[in-house]
Amino acid sequence: MASPDRMTSRISEFDLIARIRARVAARDDVRVGIGDDAALTAPPPGRWLAIAMDTLNVGVHFPDDTAAADIGWKALAVNLSDLAAMGAEPAWCTLSLSLPNAEAAWLDGFLDGFLELASRHRVALIGGDTTRGPLSICVAVHGFVDPQGALRRDAARVGDDVWVTGTLGDAAAALHEWRAGGARSEALRARLDRPTPRVAAGRALGGLAHACIDLSDGLLADLGHVCRASRVGTEIALTHLPLSSTLSIAHPPALTQRWQTAGGDDYELCFTAPRTARLAIEDAMSVCDTPATRIGRIVAGSGEVVVRDAEGELWTPTEQGYSHFVE
Amino acid sequence: MASPDRMTSRISEFDLIARIRARVAARDDVRVGIGDDAALTAPPPGRWLAIAMDTLNVGVHFPDDTAAADIGWKALAVNLSDLAAMGAEPAWCTLSLSLPNAEAAWLDGFLDGFLELASRHRVALIGGDTTRGPLSICVAVHGFVDPQGALRRDAARVGDDVWVTGTLGDAAAALHEWRAGGARSEALRARLDRPTPRVAAGRALGGLAHACIDLSDGLLADLGHVCRASRVGTEIALTHLPLSSTLSIAHPPALTQRWQTAGGDDYELCFTAPRTARLAIEDAMSVCDTPATRIGRIVAGSGEVVVRDAEGELWTPTEQGYSHFVE
């Protein structure tokens, strides 16, 4: 850990930028990186550019006891997850940090998490800014996608299977445990603090899947976006929803089912694909070491998301997902 | 103005995004805009992509009585100013809005200013997010620049003239008047709230100017960045610094000189160019209706910025510019 001296070390804005710049990795397609008015990059010919931007605010998007390194990881992860949902290959990112004060140790920790994830996906940090203000982290990411391989929300078709990667509900369970203040599982908390953006899976699904979305607001809410955009409906089998063994042991089904369907922050991919692609999808997911489960199918409709229980009866969720402004 | 009903109208996050989406202009090179996990765009072949990102926080970057429309304008303007400083042609932007609450009238006002400026420069708003939090606006902008026309901070050469566009110090004067709480000039306040990004001038300078920077932190501080990056020094003539008639009438020279040299928020361009380009630069600035003034020259050195008064004596500034974290 940082020495007491470093913990209280305040640094100027210019030193702060220099501290970031010193740790940033290079990429051949970055012509001018941090340190000018704008970054200059050379996009590859013939590919589209995927651009996403997401902000994390303290107390809204992460508990206030979250470690700096985890905040750094998550700020980039939620953005890479958006690129994954488009089937894009990540390339560059910019970072805007609003900090109540500029502590060297906090910044170093933040960069540890942020740059560790950036390095795994060969993402170069090319610019941004630092300002004084309540803790807030805004990240924009840029990636490349072949025009024929882009995954969109509005491409689901009647008869498609509905799939999800990984397991559902762990992050919501961790948030519940944190709020309740009782026993807490470190494994669940890691899922909340260090989500895994499914970048390799998203890229592998280009040309195989029809529609795709990443699960940030909860399965039912996010599937609702896909169904409305695609002008279809969907039927989901409650018992098919993937569940981690940690979660199944730690909490009763009444809670785990609520978190699997309506909990946010999973950052798994939910995608639809024709039945004929089942084997190809299983192969592709196996190659990139990403579990994927069929959880239902796309039906005719206009945005309806229906969940059926083990007996085939309609199951009514207790919440419909997460919206920042609805209290 | 908005009716009392609209003033207190709270809207959900999804309605808020729908409200933004309904007002956004199209561009042929935007393949997928607002409403998916990421935007998809088709960059033009053979050009570089310029990417900048800047955040505005209430109380730090604008007075807390600033009108919503002016905040919207300024949030985009400071970013377009960064593209201008690279000589880039603006194309797309993303917007992350953190709002303490979601009021329809505030959002509509914000969009009035933001989209008015976007429309003038044919910039398409292609994505971003809305979150709950203290008022903060993060914008990322993307533009195109020819590799041989890109303006950088590190390209100033000994013997270059130093130029600035427009006039200096008005925005700092407005901030001073606002803080002092006495008589206030609307013309000065407009320069603080609605800066003019010098986009046409920046593009016209590609191939003519050597180095360029936009003036956000104050002339001396920003020229210092150019000189350190270029490993040169500069000598500036205090009496050559352009001054608006409004400012010269409203305040005494001791104050105006301080604001011209150390005040922030002007968003004029400061650039260096060889003496042989003087006529071409005057022609180019005339074509894009942007006043430009020669204020000094680049000399051998290692980052020194020297100011001389009317008698040629060294003039010592009282402040060196603005840094968010130095109090």
Which whole number is the average pLDDT over B255-270?
95
CA A134, CA B285: separation in Å to the nearest integer? 41
Q: Which amino acid is at A24?
A: V
A residues 106-145 closer than 8 Å to B (CB) = 126-134, 136, 138, 140-143, 145
Q: What is the pLDDT of residue A9?
A: 62
Three-state DSSP class for residue A47: coil
Give percent of chain B above pLDDT 70: 94
B-interface mutation test, from A36, A139, A151, A228, most B Cβ less than 10 A away: A36
CA B51, CA B92: separation in Å to the nearest integer? 10
Cβ neighbours of A234 (radius 10 Å): 27
Q: What is the pLDDT of residues B35-79, one digit of tens each?
A: 999 999 999 999 999 999 999 988 777 888 899 999 999 999 999
Which among A38, A52, A214 has the least Cβ separation from residue B52? A38
The count of CB pairs under 8 A between chains A and B is 225
Cα A202 to Cα A232, B302, B313, distances in angstroms: 22, 49, 65
Q: Cβ A53–B140 below 8 Å, yes or no?
A: yes
Q: Which positions ≥6 away from A55 have C-beta within 8 Å?
A: A61, A136, A137, A138, A139, B96, B98, B129, B131, B133, B136, B138
The verdict on pTM exceeding 0.90 is: yes
Cβ neighbours of A1 (radius 10 Å): 7
Q: What is the pLDDT of residues A275-301, one digit of tens each?
A: 999 999 999 999 999 999 999 999 999
Nearest Cα of chain A lies from the Cα of B100 at a distance, in angstroms, of 9
Which whole number is the average pLDDT over B302-320?
86
A residues 267-306 closer than 8 Å to B (CB) = none
Give percent of chain B above pLDDT 90: 78
Which whole number is the average pLDDT over A151-165?
97
Nearest Cα of chain A lies from the Cα of B146 at a distance, in angstroms, of 10
Q: Is the Cβ of B77 closer than 8 Å to some Cβ of chain A?
A: no
Using DSSP bridges, classify how beta strands A233-237 and A305-308 pair: parallel, antiparallel or unpaired.
parallel
Q: Looking at this predicted complex, what is its ipTM?
A: 0.92
* Contact criterion met (CB below 8 Å) for B24 and B30: no
CA A191, CA A250: separation in Å to the nearest integer? 14
Q: What is the pLDDT of residue B1?
A: 31
Q: What is the pLDDT of residue A11?
A: 72
Q: What is the pLDDT of residue A8?
A: 44
Give percent of chain A above pLDDT 90: 78
CA B59, CA B134: separation in Å to the nearest integer? 11
Q: What is the pLDDT of residue B100?
A: 86
Q: Tokens 């199944």 appear where?
A: A248
